[in-house]
């Protein structure tokens, strides 16, 4: 225990794993389950939306194609939630440091419940009205989801003990994998139920009958289901006490912090009000985000967390560039014309569920298992390295993988890029910002880092969607201009992952240290210094 560390904080740091740890994981983790479900479920139903609202009237004796969302509409439906998430991360991250983690935590959950339901109830007699209201509610849904990022990470880091803190935060983030899996399972159940009730021919057989009018209920039910897990955890979020680190170090209420944690830990703790007042007067505990002192102590850290998250999300969210090639190559998704609308939803959901089971979910839980043994730095560097290797291995000989005998190898390579993203920087970029910044700025800095990640997601999901279009005008998707092609896009993504490796060297290793030891809040030391002599190590470039 550092000479000035509060007893209540030391008690949290050295506490054995108890029931409240798992309760906190469930409460925060269900929020992330909901986040992932709501963000990714829309990709399961965009094809259905295109068929319902953008299929042209049947022309006699002419076999057309099922309707699809125009590029600008598809961009809006998929991207508006990401824009809302970015804004929510910045706003609620800042608000979590001003009002407290608990107060803001309930607001984000209410937003998510209301807007999940609103998205499914999108109204209007014309398609423009339905799409506009869907985008409106999905923006505010994303806004609430954005708040969950800094708050969930900060709450878990401030509740956890220092020995297993990484695993606890990683377990919260790992619920994102179950959210993606849950979206696929719900879509499978709903589409199967409607498909059995309203059996329909393929589009090529009968364009009109291939789309039963009840199909409109399918996407609405799938989207609205995201409100269920969020609503179930609201009561427990409101029962959770404020974190002791916020109450003591930010609100300066030692008595309340001791009372709250005495109840949680089931021990008697002293208030230590004099020590809290003395710590508050330390210059190291009063500098602001835009001060020279912050830049000196944590400027490189913030650059590292923002840059690595930005670069990671470009690569992570752009992996849908060749997802359709994977699914088509192995026969998971036939041509759109050979399926009915409900068949298409079922097959897309089946493909996403299998990918989640085989690579996404295992990658998250490998991080949970090894992060407190290998450390954040090692796992992040390793993840970026293997993502770079597999992107180059797919991209450079891209034509080789498109040949039918090599499709299985293509699937394996593709799965490994997902695995090492999740057993790597996709988890660590979420964990580290919740550990290395002072309590009074922790939620804000995590929100800034996460928002940079979502900016990268927007670049990855949409910038590279255009870039990956064929260089041959005859082969581009409808409505898109020519691009640099999938091969060159994959090589560019490999270079982006390599940059992520380099920026990882700016991020310190917080494994095994208390939060106050990392930031210097306990005795005025710690943090990054110009000479690199602090106890928080930053690996040299």
> What pLDDT is stored for residue 204 in this prediction?
87
Spatial separation of the C-alpha atoms in residues 56 and 104, rounded to whole Å: 46
Q: What is the mean pLDDT of residues 431-446?
A: 95
**Local confidence band at 71 (pLDDT 50, 70, 90 cut-offs):** confident
Q: What is the mean pLDDT of residues 261-290?
A: 77
pLDDT (tens digit per residue) in 391-403: 999 889 988 887 8
Spatial separation of the C-alpha atoms in residues 243 and 370, rounded to whole Å: 26
Lowest-confidence region among 32-36, 412-416, 513-517: 412-416
**Local confidence band at 428 (pLDDT 50, 70, 90 cut-offs):** very high
Closest by CA position to 156, among listed 15, 21, 7: 21
> What pLDDT is stored for residue 133 in this prediction?
94
What DSSP string runs through 252-275? --HHHHHHHHHHHHTS-----HHH
- Identify which has the larger pLDDT, 416 or 502: 502
What one-character DSSP code corresponds to residue 307?
Answer: H
- Identify which has the larger pLDDT, 520 or 424: 424
Percent of the chain with pLDDT over 70: 90
Residue 9 has pLDDT above 90, yes or no: no
pLDDT (tens digit per residue) in 135-156: 999 999 999 999 999 999 999 9
**pTM of this structure:** 0.89
Q: What is the mean pLDDT of residues 225-242?
A: 87
Q: Which residues, other chains included, contact 335 with Cβ-Cβ below 8 Å and sequence gap of 6+? A: none
What DSSP string runs through 423-474? TTHHHHHHHGGGTSS-HHHHHHHHHHHHHHHHHHHHIIIIIHHHHTS-SSGG
Contacts 24+ apart (CB under 8 A), 401-404: 402/325, 402/329, 404/329
**Local confidence band at 280 (pLDDT 50, 70, 90 cut-offs):** low
**Local confidence band at 299 (pLDDT 50, 70, 90 cut-offs):** very high
Residue 62 has pLDDT above 80, yes or no: no
> What pLDDT is stored for residue 533 in this prediction?
35
pLDDT (tens digit per residue) in 317-343: 887 656 665 666 566 678 888 899 999
Question: Is CATH 1.20.1250.20 correct for 9-57+64-277+291-515?
Answer: yes
> What pLDDT is stored for residue 145 in this prediction?
93
Q: Which residues, other chains included, contact 450 with Cβ-Cβ below 8 Å and sequence gap of 6+? A: 89, 93, 146, 149, 150, 309, 430, 433
Spatial separation of the C-alpha atoms in residues 116 and 35, rounded to whole Å: 11
């Amino acid at each position: 225990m550092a000479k000035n560390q509060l007893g209540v904080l030391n008690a949290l740091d050295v506490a054995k794993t108890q029931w409240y740890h798992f309760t906190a994981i469930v409460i925060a983790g269900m929020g992330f389950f909901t986040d992932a479900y709501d963000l990714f479920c829309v990709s399961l139903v965009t094809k259905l939306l295109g068929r319902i609202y953008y299929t042209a009237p049947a022309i006699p004796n002419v076999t057309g194609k099922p309707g699809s969302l125009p590029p600008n509409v598809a961009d809006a439906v998929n991207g508006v939630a990401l824009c809302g998430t970015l804004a929510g991360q910045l706003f609620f991250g800042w608000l979590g440091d001003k009002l407290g983690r608990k107060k803001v935590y309930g607001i984000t959950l209410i937003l998510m419940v209301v807007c999940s339901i609103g998205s499914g109830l999108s109204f209007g007699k014309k398609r423009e009205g339905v799409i506009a209201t869907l985008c409106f509610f999905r923006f505010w849904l994303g806004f609430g989801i954005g708040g969950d990022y800094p708050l969930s990470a900060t709450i878990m880091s401030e509740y956890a003990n220092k020995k297993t803190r990484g695993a606890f935060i990683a377990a919260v983030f790992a619920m994102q994998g179950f959210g993606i899996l849950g979206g696929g399972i719900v879509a499978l159940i709903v589409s199967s139920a409607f498909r059995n009730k309203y059996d329909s021919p393929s589009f090529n057989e009968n364009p009109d009958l291939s789309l039963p009018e009840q199909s409109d209920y399918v996407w609405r039910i799938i989207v609205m289901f995201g409100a269920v897990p969020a609503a179930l955890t609201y009561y427990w979020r409101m029962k959770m006490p404020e974190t002791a680190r916020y109450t003591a170090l930010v609100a300066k209420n030692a008595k309340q912090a001791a009372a709250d944690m005495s109840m949680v830990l089931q021990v008697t703790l002293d208030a230590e009000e004099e020590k809290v007042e003395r710590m508050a007067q330390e210059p190291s505990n009063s500098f602001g985000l835009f001060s020279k002192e912050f830049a000196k102590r944590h400027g490189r850290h913030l650059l590292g967390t923002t840059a690595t998250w930005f670069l990671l999300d470009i690569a992570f969210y752009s992996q849908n560039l060749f997802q359709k090639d994977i699914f088509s190559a192995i026969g998971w998704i036939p041509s759109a014309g050979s399926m009915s609308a409900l068949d298409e939803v079922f097959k897309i959901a089946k493909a996403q569920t299998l990918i989640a089971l085989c690579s996404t979910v295992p990658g998250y839980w490998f991080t949970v298992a090894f992060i407190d043994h290998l450390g954040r730095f090692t796992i992040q560097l390793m993840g970026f390295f293997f993502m770079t290797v597999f992107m180059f291995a797919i991209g450079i000989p891209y034509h080789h993988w498109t040949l039918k005998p090599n499709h299985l190898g293509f699937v394996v390579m593709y799965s490994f890029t997902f695995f090492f993203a999740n057993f790597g920087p996709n988890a660590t970029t979420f964990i580290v910002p919740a550990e290395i910044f002072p309590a009074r700025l922790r939620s804000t800095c995590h929100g800034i880092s996460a928002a940079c990640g979502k900016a990268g997601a927007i670049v990855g999901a949409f910038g590279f969607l255009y870039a990956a279009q064929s260089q041959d005008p005859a082969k581009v998707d409808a409505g898109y201009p020519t691009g640099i092609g999938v091969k060159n896009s994959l090589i560019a993504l490999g270079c982006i992952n390599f940059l992520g490796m380099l920026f990882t060297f700016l991020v310190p290793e917080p494994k095994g240290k208390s939060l106050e030891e990392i930031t210097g809040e306990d005795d005025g030391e710690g943090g990054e210094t110009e000479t690199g002599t602090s106890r928080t190590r930053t690996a040299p470039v």
